[in-house]
Amino acid sequence: MPEEPTSRLLDARSLRGLAHPLRMQLLIALRRGGPATASQLAEKLGESSGATSYHLRQLATHGFVADDPGRGKGRERWWKAVDQGVQLDETLIKDPDPAVRGAVALFRYELANVHTREVATWLGTAHDWAEEWDGATDLSDFTLRLTPELARELIGRMHELVQSYRPLAEGTPDAETVRVHTHVFPTRTKL
């Protein structure tokens, strides 16, 4: 059975270290693409290697990335992600420090941007996938009336269901990495 991916709970300090659009992109690129150099990441993300180097060092200071000494030669520095996910400590949403609340907002907005880019990329490349993937993707939305307690229950049950699928296709040659986005949030329907 495959190992559960490691996830890190963000506290106020680590959140401020991660809550930057380029840092989040770098961390995602390392998690999905594996170890890379600052130059490789700069080319992939359309940034300068100076910017990627600086932000990789900041991510390392906060423990999100580390050197990968088994790779490279000479002065070439390879980086790898330390864990495979993060979780936001929900108490930070109401933190009395405006800088922390600002970091929460930036983190959440950038995460929403990542999801939007991923869906847009899928839509733009759907024709490149094998026919078997036709009808095996989903862009649904639902509107429910829930209490906060029921919303928390729904979120927990969705997460459990998604996790239960993690080991099912392990070692299957035609399995692909898929992204599952969940968004549960209240919305005003009355003016």
Q: What is the pLDDT of residues 40-61, one digit of tens each?
A: 999 999 999 999 999 999 999 9
Residue 126 in tokens: 């759907």
Report pLDDT for 84.
87
DSSP state at residue 2 = P
How far apart (Å, rounded) are the C-alpha atoms in residues 20 and 15? 9
What region, left, alpha or beta, does residue 72 occupy, with left being phi > 0 and alpha being psi -120 to 50 degrees? Answer: left
Q: Which pTM does this prediction carry? A: 0.82
How far apart (Å, rounded) are the C-alpha atoms in residues 176 and 160? 20
DSSP state at residue 90 = G
Query: Does residue 37 surpass a pLDDT of 60?
Result: yes
Domain ranges in the chain?
Answer: 1-118, 141-185
For residue 191, name the pLDDT band (cuts at 50, 70, 90).
low
Cβ atoms of 89 and 11 closer than 8 Å: yes
Range 1-118: architecture per CATH: Orthogonal Bundle (1.10)
Over range 64-77, report the average pLDDT. 84
Query: Does residue 2 surpass a pLDDT of 50?
Result: no
How far apart (Å, rounded) are the C-alpha atoms in residues 133 and 77? 38
How far apart (Å, rounded) are the C-alpha atoms in residues 38 and 148? 43
